[in-house]
Amino acid sequence: MRKIGILLVFILAALPAWAAGDTLVIAQGVDATTLDPVNHQETPTGNVTAQIFDNFYRRTPDGKYEPWLGEAKALDDLTWELTVRKGVKFHNGEELNAEVIKFNFDRLLNPDKPLKYSTYFKPIKSVEVTGPYTLKVTTEKPFPLFLTRLTYFWVVPKQYIEEKGDAYFANHPVGTGPYKFVRWVKDQEIVLEANEDYWAGKPRIKKVVFRPIPEASSRVAELMTGGVDIITNLAPEAVAVVNGSGVAEARTVPSIRNIFVVLDVKGEGPLHDPKVRQALNYAVDKKSIIEHVLGGNGVPVGCPLNPYIFGYDEALCEPFPYDPEKAKQLLAEAGYPNGFSFTMGSPSGRYLNDRQVAEAIVGQLAKVGVKVELRVQEWSSYVGQILERKIPTDAWLIGWGNAQFDADNTLFTLLYGGTVEGGPPQTRFSYWADPEFDKAVLEAQSVVDQAKRQALYKQALERVRAGAPWIFLYEQEDIYGVNKRVKWQPRPDELIWAFDAEIVK
């Protein structure tokens, strides 16, 4: 933090005039991991691919969804009719039609080559082309989340992928979106140019560049000297200086993202005991971390959800109070009166002061006798290990932004343990298995009545509260540093969509 302060003193001594032009430069803490829009699960990657591709339904800034590349209408509990927007073309000239949409469904549902988003469409039984721009989708069971899931249905070109293959496409993307791909120099920049023939209107900004800059101080330096226009995760200690610079400002928004520590509860070690896991939750002072590490930019949580998300229950999501004496008592009851040791991973630069948050947790757990060895990694390796279930630590700090605004996207995706007979296997992110929880979240996936779904999620949250499979931390408040020449407001879902932005000259 002192490093940022010293750096800003020198920056303010010689601030240049902002360069004019039609280029928007966005600095995130990490690079994209792929440019295939349905084969990742990271917001920084999604921010890039959202410029190149369109989804079938899109999410508006207030969290609602609306038709975009087409519209879906329920014919009965198991059947949907899809109508594709006419007159849309991919950047290579391919036409969007029903055959292309079917290709996209087939690609997602191919069991031999599963993609990261494939799980969102598993209830689909069949897809039939019924006309040049119409399709019929049949599901195995009622699918109340279908319209929400269509916001994750990013449409890719059939002919181009069949000719070039998935691997080439993931590095040389072609979409229907407002910006065309120009080049990707990994860990340096991704360059995009305006699609002048975009079906929704000509983009106001002619060129967009994404730059990965892991160090918070370096992102601030680039913002203040005109190297970038928007930076994510502006350090709280830099907000006052940025706001006083006259050339840039901080813009904030409460986020859909929760930050937490996943605990590997498999096996017979201390973390297998729910009393130990509850003790860890009582031992972490969330309010202190938010005040001293995040500059007040967060809200403590006690469950995997936050108030944006359907299924949230205020009583069951009440934060665990900071109570180190209760933590010691629970540890003693579990057979660890002198504490124990474990390893914990953390990224650096992905979330707001993530490494510093992890360091604070290590210090607080030490006060109740729990020794934590912290291992900090760069993001691409870290997230790769998590996705492949090869994380080398007993616990890891991570965040989840539920852009579907429904509890299923968090509870099923992150915690479903695969205990339901005949049901799906344990999800890639889950290290916990609770039969009552699994039964409730699986049933909620096929219940159309929203009140019944809410009741099922309440049952699930009761099991989460008792089992404490994570150390619950906080709902993040996102802080962006923005050049004043950029007309743009941040969104709760963390999407940075250049088509909505404008450079004011």
Per-residue pLDDT at 358: 98
Q: Which residues pair with 481 in a beta bridge?
A: 231, 250
- Residue 231 · residue 480 · CB < 8 Å: yes
Q: Which helix (H) or strand (E) holds 66?
A: strand 65-67
What is this structure's pTM? 0.86
Q: Torsion over CA of 151, 68, 479 and 382, rounded to 10 degrees?
A: 40
Please determine whether the domains at 53-156 and 254-476 fall in the same fold group of CATH.
no
State the alpha helices, DSSP H only, in 60-165: 98-109, 146-149, 158-164
Per-residue DSSP letter, 474: E
For the segment(s) 53-156, the CATH number from 3.30.70.270, 3.40.50.10680, 3.90.76.10, 3.40.630.30 is: 3.90.76.10
Largest CA-CA distance found in the chain, in angstroms, rounded: 70
Tokens of 213: 């800059």
State the alpha helices, DSSP H only, in 172-301: 216-224, 239-243, 274-283, 286-292
CA distance 375 to 378: 10
**Cβ neighbours of residue 201 closer than 8 Å, sequence gap 6 or more:** none
Per-residue pLDDT at 287: 98
Tokens of 434: 């609770």
CA distance 501 to 230: 11
Q: CA nearest 234: which of 212, 211, 218, 258?
A: 218
Q: Where are the domains of the chain?
A: 23-30+171-253+478-503, 53-156, 254-476
CA angle 311, 386, 118 (to 5 degrees): 60
Mapped onto helix, strand or coil, the DSSP state of residue 206 is coil
CA distance 441 to 447: 10
Helix axes of 450-467 and 408-415: crossing angle, nearest 10 degrees: 40
Per-residue pLDDT at 165: 98
Tokens of 147: 């319209």
Note the Cα 448 to chain centre separation in Å.
26
Tokens of 146: 């279908």
Q: How many CA atoms lie within 13 A of 288 on its CB side?
A: 14
CA distance 145 to 220: 40
254-476 is classed CATH 3.40.120.10? no
CA distance 176 to 222: 31
Each residue's pLDDT expressed in tens, for the chain with a length of 505 residues: 445 554 544 444 444 433 446 999 999 999 999 999 999 999 999 999 999 999 999 999 988 999 999 999 999 999 999 999 999 999 999 999 999 999 999 999 999 999 999 999 999 999 999 999 999 999 999 999 999 999 999 999 999 999 999 999 999 999 999 999 999 999 999 999 999 999 999 999 999 999 999 999 999 999 999 999 999 999 999 999 999 999 999 999 999 999 999 999 987 899 999 999 999 999 999 999 999 999 999 999 999 999 999 999 999 999 999 999 999 999 999 999 999 999 999 999 899 999 999 999 999 999 999 999 999 999 989 999 999 999 999 999 999 999 999 999 999 999 999 999 999 999 999 999 999 999 999 999 999 999 999 999 999 999 999 999 999 999 999 999 999 999 999 999 999 999 999 999 7
Per-residue pLDDT at 62: 87
- Residue 36 · residue 44 · CB < 8 Å: no
Per-residue pLDDT at 17: 39
**Cβ neighbours of residue 449 closer than 8 Å, sequence gap 6 or more:** none
Q: Report residue 173: phi and psi, to 5°.
A: -75, 150
CATH topology of domain 23-30+171-253+478-503: D-Maltodextrin-Binding Protein; domain 2 (3.40.190)
CA distance 375 to 437: 31
Q: CA nearest 239: which of 296, 298, 299?
A: 296
**Cβ neighbours of residue 89 closer than 8 Å, sequence gap 6 or more:** 95, 96, 176, 197, 199
Tokens of 411: 């509870």
Per-residue pLDDT at 9: 45
- Residue 464 · residue 502 · CB < 8 Å: no
Mapped onto helix, strand or coil, the DSSP state of residue 298 is strand
Task: Tell me how far apart the terminal alpha carbons of the chain are, to the nearest angstrom.
Answer: 34
**Cβ neighbours of residue 467 closer than 8 Å, sequence gap 6 or more:** 274, 277, 432, 434, 437
Residue for token pair 């998935």: 166
- Residue 232 · residue 478 · CB < 8 Å: yes
